[in-house]
């Protein structure tokens, strides 16, 4: 279950820079990466293993999520989200949000974009939903600072990590109704992903633990130690492994939830964000490597 280094992909002006969430779009076979320090989105051609394009004009870009050829970008610096076409790389639309949009979800078949906003200057954190074609807008207040979010397979519910009090907040789609709060027994709920087949959520927490929870009831089913405060967390359905990126000292911990076995891969200082290209690649965005450290997950 060990990750193996298979190469690197250079990104312009990456050395010593800062990145955030990235996402693989299966339709275009491209990876979209938030280059936060440069206010840009970097585009990688996965099949050619090369940097394809730099898209400027995304102030304080914090994340990218992908679904069926559509990319949703969160811009903390302009309190907005942007909808991109993964094929043409054109911006289709922008939508104003609350302050500092952070975690995000896009559901192309329902025409929905969702942004969890931290807020500014005492502003209450919010979870905001947008109709990407009809510009319908729904917003609910949050009990604390939001982190990452995912939906279930049917896109009937959204799950959102809240840092403090540490919890997973659950809301119904498409209207953000029937809000439930599932408390997490570790502090600082942060990275999040879901195993749709087994009905499990994986919550990486700031106190250096990975918590497994039922995605139907919120019951905690396991807690494992990890190598430090985490950030981006991915579950790979092809291998059944959960990969947690830890920026300091620069690690990826890979946990097999079926038996609790953990392996550790050294990456680089500041490499706290990744992009999963299922079934067999994990991209670690690493300023120390000048771009992407490509790991094989087989």
Q: What span, in angstroms and rounded, lies between the C-alpha atoms of 21 and 78? A: 17
Taken in order 148, 152, 153, 157, is the CA torsion positive or negative?
Answer: negative
Please, which pLDDT band fits residue 59 given cuts at 50, 70 and 90? very high
Over the Cα atoms of the chain, what is R_g? 17
Q: What span, in angstroms and rounded, lies between the C-alpha atoms of 20 and 74? A: 10
Condensed to tens digits (0 to 9), the pLDDT of residues 201-234 reads: 999 999 999 999 999 999 999 999 999 999 999 9
pLDDT at 145 over 70: yes
Number of H helices, E strands in the chain: 0, 28
Q: What is the DSSP track for 208-219?
A: TEEEEEETTT--
Question: Are the beta carbons of 258 and 216 closer than 8 angstroms?
Answer: no
Condensed to tens digits (0 to 9), the pLDDT of residues 155-190 reads: 999 999 999 999 999 999 999 999 999 999 999 999
Q: What span, in angstroms and rounded, lies between the C-alpha atoms of 124 and 143? A: 8
pLDDT at 120 over 70: yes
Please, which pLDDT band fits residue 298 given cuts at 50, 70 and 90? confident
Question: What is the average per-residue pLDDT within 34-59?
Answer: 98
DSSP secondary structure letter of residue 38: G
pLDDT of residue 247: 96
pTM over 0.95: yes
Taken in order 247, 228, 119, 128, is the CA torsion positive or negative?
Answer: positive
Condensed to tens digits (0 to 9), the pLDDT of residues 227-274 reads: 999 999 999 999 999 999 999 999 999 999 999 999 999 999 999 999
Condensed to tens digits (0 to 9), the pLDDT of residues 10-28 reads: 999 999 999 999 999 999 9
Tokens 């060990």 found at: 2
pLDDT of residue 281: 98
Give the contacts of 259 (CB within 8 A, at least 6 positions apart): none
pLDDT of residue 140: 98
pLDDT at 1 over 80: no
Tell which phi-psi region holds residue 154, choosing left (phi > 0), alpha (psi between -120 and 50) or beta: alpha
Among candidate residues 145, 71, 154, the one with its CA nearest the CA of residue 113? 71
Give the contacts of 244 (CB within 8 A, at least 6 positions apart): 191, 204, 210, 226, 230, 232, 233, 252, 253, 254, 255
Question: What is the average per-residue pLDDT within 100-124?
Answer: 96
Q: What span, in angstroms and rounded, lies between the C-alpha atoms of 262 and 69? A: 34
- Mean pLDDT rounded to a whole number for the chain: 97
What Å distances lie between residue 125 and 101, 121, 257, 285, CA to CA? Answer: 9, 11, 32, 28
Q: What span, in angstroms and rounded, lies between the C-alpha atoms of 5 and 238? A: 18
pLDDT at 47 over 90: yes
pLDDT of residue 122: 86
pLDDT at 53 over 70: yes
Question: Are the beta carbons of 113 and 64 closer than 8 angstroms?
Answer: no
Q: SS3 for 98-143, per residue?
A: CCCEEEEEEEHHHCEEEEEECCCCCCCCEEEEEECCCCCEEEEECC
pLDDT of residue 2: 76
% of the chain residues with pLDDT over 90:
98
């Amino acid at each position: 279950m060990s990750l193996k280094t298979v190469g690197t992909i250079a990104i312009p002006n990456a050395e010593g820079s800062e990145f955030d969430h990235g996402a693989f779009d299966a339709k275009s076979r491209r990876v979209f990466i938030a280059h936060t320090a440069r206010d840009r989105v970097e585009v990688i051609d996965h099949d050619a293993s090369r940097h394809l394009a730099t898209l400027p004009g995304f102030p304080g870009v914090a994340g990218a999520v992908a679904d069926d050829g559509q990319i949703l970008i969160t811009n903390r610096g302009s309190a907005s989200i942007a909808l991109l076409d993964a094929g043409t790389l054109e911006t289709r639309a922008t939508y104003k949000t609350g302050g500092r949009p952070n975690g995000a979800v896009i559901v192309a078949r329902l025409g929905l974009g969702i942004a969890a906003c931290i807020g500014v200057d005492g502003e209450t954190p919010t979870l905001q939903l947008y109709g990407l074609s009809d510009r319908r807008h729904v917003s609910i207040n949050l009990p604390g600072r939001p982190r990452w979010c995912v939906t279930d397979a049917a896109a009937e519910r959204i799950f959102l990590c809240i840092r403090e009090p540490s919890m997973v907040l659950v809301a119904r789609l498409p209207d953000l109704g029937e809000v439930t709060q599932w408390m997490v027994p570790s502090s600082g709920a942060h990275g999040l992903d879901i195993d749709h087949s087994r009905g499990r959520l994986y919550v990486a927490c700031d106190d250096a633990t990975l918590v497994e929870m039922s995605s139907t009831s919120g019951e905690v089913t396991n807690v494992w130690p990890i190598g430090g405060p985490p950030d981006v967390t991915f579950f790979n359905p092809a291998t059944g492994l959960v990969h947690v990126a830890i920026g300091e000292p620069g690690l990826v911990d890979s946990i097999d939830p079926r038996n609790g076995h953990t392996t550790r891969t050294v990456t680089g200082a500041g490499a706290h964000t990744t992009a999963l290209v299922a079934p067999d690649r994990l991209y670690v965005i690493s300023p120390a490597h000048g771009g992407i450290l490509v790991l094989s997950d087989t």
